[in-house]
Amino acid sequence: MTLIIVAFAAGLIAGISPCILPVLPIVFVAGVAAPDAAVDPKGSWRRSVAIVLGLVLSFSLLVLVGSEILSGLDLPQSTLMWTGVVLLGLVGIGFVVPAIGEWLERPFARMVGRQPSSSSGGFVIGLALGLVFVPCAGPVLAAITVLGATRDVHFQTVLVTLAFAIGAVVPLLFIALAGGGLVHRVRSVRSHAPMIRQIGGVVLLLMAIGIATNAFDFLQKDVPGYTSVLQKKIEGSTSIRKQLNALKGTSGSKGVSGSLVSCPSASPGLVTCGLAPNFTNVTKWLNTPQGKPLSLKGLRGKVVLVDFWTYSCINCQRSLPHVEAWYQRYAPYGLEIVGVHTPEFAFEHVVSNVRAQAKTLGVKYPIAVDNNYGTWNDYDNEYWPAEYLIDAKGVVRHVDFGEGNYSLTESLIRRLLVAAHPGLKLPPPTSVPNLTPFVETSPESYVGYKYGLTYMDSDVEPAENVAAQYHFPSYLSSTTWALSGVWNEHAEEATSIKDAKLEINYMAQDVYLVMGGSGTVTVSAGNGTAPMTIQVGGVPRLYTLFHTIASTNGTMVLKFTPGVQAFDFTFG
């Protein structure tokens, strides 16, 4: 109950934060332009309530099951947002052309068995707003978003989500009521109701276009984050954090045995760690005949390597050539490899992204898209990459986390193949170069606030989900980074807005950065080499920023054009 109350309070704070400024004119105009607001104050009230009910419904469904719906339909994660933008545009056109508005509202009116009305039109607007509504994320919203992304939705999650959504729309309800009340009270306004409705339609169209093109970022930049202190006070207490952790920790592993949990990593020989869990709750199968699923029971008699990976992970990318080489060399002799793609970032949930990057990276063995974390949880896995070697009887015989140990893993694969097929003559071992860095390098550094920032500008605290001005510090400590210019810090990445630069102090032979969005990044390594410009576009992926023949310590500055997303630094 405490968490539900806090979620409602967190929603209230989000509902008055700068993040919701782009939707305020839409809500107000929806009240002003209501067809019956001029003559029926009850109609205005019904329409306002319908707006917020539609917003609560669509926003809650988007947070809790939006990713699952899109993954099931093999659609990009932005589909629902664009649906909301298009719906808002259609409502705007409907305000200008009443016949179109009536046609748009008719399906929702039929649900309640009456003719199209102000309330049904308000519900349409609310549904659209819920798909484009992006409140500032605090711990409560972050927790329920993660639960929705990992499909760990249960009754408590739904209650907390609804409490947050209801809290967030309370301020919007008053704004919608204010719009409708203005029309009813002011006689001169009532006399021009049809013209006001048409003007409202134009405003809705303009706001839909502005949301689609991120034209309102300047609002978040210029308006101070006046709710941040209150948000931290409400959501940031130790007791609330513990309750949120408890909310996220209710799933647990469903099928892993104690022997697998305690199975030693990178043991020098074969061990016995119990039966391997099956592939659970897989979103989609790639690289199998007609996309049919595989099961460990169906693979009995084969040696199976289960490899957990995600496509933008540099550690995974360095290990993939070895795994693919094993597949090409030993598949004819009874080896099956299943790459379990469990996403780390939201864009890695998109099946089309996984398919495209698997092709680019040369992955030809079967891939289980584990968007629901079902297989990940059943293996109680915590690493990318992670390898589970399973014998022909379905028993886990070797576990290895991270990179390296390729020769050892291949030798154990060969032993299990011979044990399954006595007298089998195998070809020579593969000879893929081991690119695992064996020198000290900088640790992996996430740019999004979700993972904990190594941010060194002591004058400016990173602002979450709002455009803000940053400045480089006078001194940058070893293996840390800092921002300059205007950036929008999100949970998983930071998006460049204006004059955006990033300075990083690194120790590595190779420096990589996962980037998305579109634009260019100019890399000045500071080692005497000419600046290099990288074109960023398409599917978010890993880009190489720097390479030298030996590990070195240095500082580089990256200059971003607007619209580029920086996710995660890795080093080699």
Question: Which of 193, 217, 247 is the last residue in one of the domains?
Answer: 247
Under DSSP, is residue 210 helix (H, G, I), strand (E, B) or coil?
A: helix
Q: CA-CA distances (angstroms) from residue 227 to 20, 43, 150, 239?
A: 12, 33, 29, 21
- The 3-state secondary structure of 247-307, one letter per residue: HHCCCCCCCCCHHHHCCCECCCCCCCCCECCCCCCCCEEECCHHHCCCCCCCCCCCEEEEE
Residues 379 and 503 in one domain: no
Percent share of the chain, pLDDT over 70: 71
Residues 108 and 157 in one domain: yes
Q: What confidence category does residue 178 fall into, taking pLDDT thresholds of 50, 70 and 90?
A: confident
The CATH number assigned to the domain holding 376 equals 3.40.30.10
Under DSSP, is residue 86 helix (H, G, I), strand (E, B) or coil?
A: helix
Under DSSP, is residue 567 helix (H, G, I), strand (E, B) or coil?
A: strand
The residue behind tokens 């986390």 is 401
User: Among the ranges 86-95, 165-174, 287-296, which has the highest mean pLDDT value?
Assistant: 287-296
pLDDT of residue 560: 94
- Please check whether residue 45 lies inside any domain of the structure: yes
Written as one letter, the residue type at 431 is: S
pLDDT of residue 497: 92
Query: What is the per-residue pLDDT across 346-361, written as a single tens digit (0 to 9) for each?
Result: 667 788 888 888 888 8
Written as one letter, the residue type at 532 is: M
Residues 374 and 494 in one domain: no
- DSSP string covering 475-527: ---TT-EEEEEEEEE-SS-EEEEEEEEEEEEEEEEEEEEEEEESEEEEEE-SS
Question: Which of 197, 223, 247 is the last residue in one of the domains?
Answer: 247
Residue 39: CB atoms within 10 Å? 12
pLDDT of residue 559: 93
What are the two backbone dihedrals, phi and then psi, of residue 99, each rounded to the nearest 5 degrees?
-60, -40
The total of structural domains in the chain comes to 3
- Domain residues for the domain of 336 are 258-420
Q: What confidence category does residue 113 fall into, taking pLDDT thresholds of 50, 70 and 90?
A: very low
Q: What confidence category does residue 96 fall into, taking pLDDT thresholds of 50, 70 and 90?
A: confident
Q: Is the model more confident about 200 or about 483?
A: 483
Residues 236 and 306 in one domain: no
DSSP classification of residue 464: B
| Residue 348 to residue 352: CA distance in whole angstroms | 9
pLDDT at 38 > cutoff 70: no
pLDDT of residue 528: 66
Residues 134 and 163 in one domain: yes
Query: What is the per-residue pLDDT across 417-445, written as a single tens digit (0 to 9) for each?
Result: 988 888 888 888 887 776 665 566 777 77
pLDDT at 458 > cutoff 60: no
Q: What confidence category does residue 233 fall into, taking pLDDT thresholds of 50, 70 and 90?
A: low
Residues 398 and 543 in one domain: no
pLDDT of residue 436: 64
- The 3-state secondary structure of 526-562, one letter per residue: CCCCCCEEEEECCCCEEEEEEEEEEEEEEEEEEEECC
pLDDT at 171 > cutoff 50: yes
Q: What confidence category does residue 112 fall into, taking pLDDT thresholds of 50, 70 and 90?
A: very low
| Residue 473 to residue 277: CA distance in whole angstroms | 50
Query: What is the per-residue pLDDT across 301-346, written as a single tens digit (0 to 9) for each?
Result: 899 999 998 887 767 877 888 889 889 889 899 899 999 998 876 6
Q: What confidence category does residue 253 fall into, taking pLDDT thresholds of 50, 70 and 90?
A: very low
Q: What confidence category does residue 499 fall into, taking pLDDT thresholds of 50, 70 and 90?
A: very high
pLDDT of residue 561: 93
Under DSSP, is residue 451 helix (H, G, I), strand (E, B) or coil?
A: helix
Q: Is 105 exposed, middle or buried (0-12, 13-18, 19+ CB in 10 A)?
A: buried
Question: Which of 247, 269, 286 is the last residue in one of the domains?
Answer: 247
User: Among the ranges 11-20, 162-171, 197-206, which has the highest mean pLDDT value?
Assistant: 162-171
DSSP classification of residue 448: S
- Please check whether residue 429 lies inside any domain of the structure: no
User: Among the ranges 138-152, 364-378, 443-457, which has the highest mean pLDDT value?
Assistant: 364-378
- Please check whether residue 112 lies inside any domain of the structure: yes
Q: What confidence category does residue 527 fall into, taking pLDDT thresholds of 50, 70 and 90?
A: low
Q: What confidence category does residue 193 fall into, taking pLDDT thresholds of 50, 70 and 90?
A: low
pLDDT at 565 > cutoff 80: yes
User: Among the ranges 5-9, 266-270, 300-304, which has the highest mean pLDDT value?
Assistant: 300-304
pLDDT of residue 115: 42
pLDDT of residue 214: 62
Among 28-32, 87-91, 267-271, 458-462, the minimum mean pLDDT is found in 458-462
- Please check whether residue 214 lies inside any domain of the structure: yes
The CATH number assigned to the domain holding 521 equals 2.60.120.260
- Give the gyration radius of the chain's Cα atoms: 27
pLDDT of residue 459: 55
Residues 324 and 466 in one domain: no
Q: Is the model more confident about 51 or about 256?
A: 51
- Please check whether residue 481 lies inside any domain of the structure: yes
Residues 234 and 264 in one domain: no
Q: What confidence category does residue 221 fall into, taking pLDDT thresholds of 50, 70 and 90?
A: very low
pLDDT at 413 > cutoff 80: yes
Selection from 132, 163, 126 nearest residue 50 by Cα: 126
pLDDT of residue 346: 67
| Residue 515 to residue 567: CA distance in whole angstroms | 6
Q: Model-level pTM greater than 0.85? A: no
Q: What confidence category does residue 195 fall into, taking pLDDT thresholds of 50, 70 and 90?
A: confident
- The overall average pLDDT reported for the chain is 75
pLDDT of residue 224: 45
CB 430 within 8 A of CB 410: yes
Under DSSP, is residue 216 helix (H, G, I), strand (E, B) or coil?
A: coil
Q: Is the model more confident about 67 or about 277?
A: 277
- Please check whether residue 292 lies inside any domain of the structure: yes
| Residue 549 to residue 571: CA distance in whole angstroms | 14
CB 399 within 8 A of CB 265: yes
- Please check whether residue 252 lies inside any domain of the structure: no
pLDDT of residue 80: 75
Q: CA-CA distances (angstroms) from residue 530 to 87, 211, 483, 503, 525?
A: 48, 38, 22, 17, 8
Q: What confidence category does residue 568 fall into, taking pLDDT thresholds of 50, 70 and 90?
A: confident
Residues 221 and 72 in one domain: yes
Residues 125 and 25 in one domain: yes
What's the mean pLDDT in 491-520? 87
What's the mean pLDDT in 105-110? 57
Query: What is the per-residue pLDDT across 366-382, written as a single tens digit (0 to 9) for each?
Result: 999 988 778 887 887 76
pLDDT of residue 117: 47
pLDDT at 488 > cutoff 80: yes
Under DSSP, is residue 51 helix (H, G, I), strand (E, B) or coil?
A: helix
Residue 57, both tokens: 């419904």
What's the mean pLDDT in 217-237? 54
- Please check whether residue 376 lies inside any domain of the structure: yes
Residues 92 and 190 in one domain: yes
Residues 487 and 516 in one domain: yes
pLDDT at 116 > cutoff 60: no
pLDDT at 139 > cutoff 80: no
pLDDT of residue 339: 92
Under DSSP, is residue 566 helix (H, G, I), strand (E, B) or coil?
A: strand
pLDDT of residue 520: 92
284-312 in b/e burial notation, b at 16+ Cβ within 10 A?
Answer: bbbbeeeeeebebeebeebbbbbbbbbbb
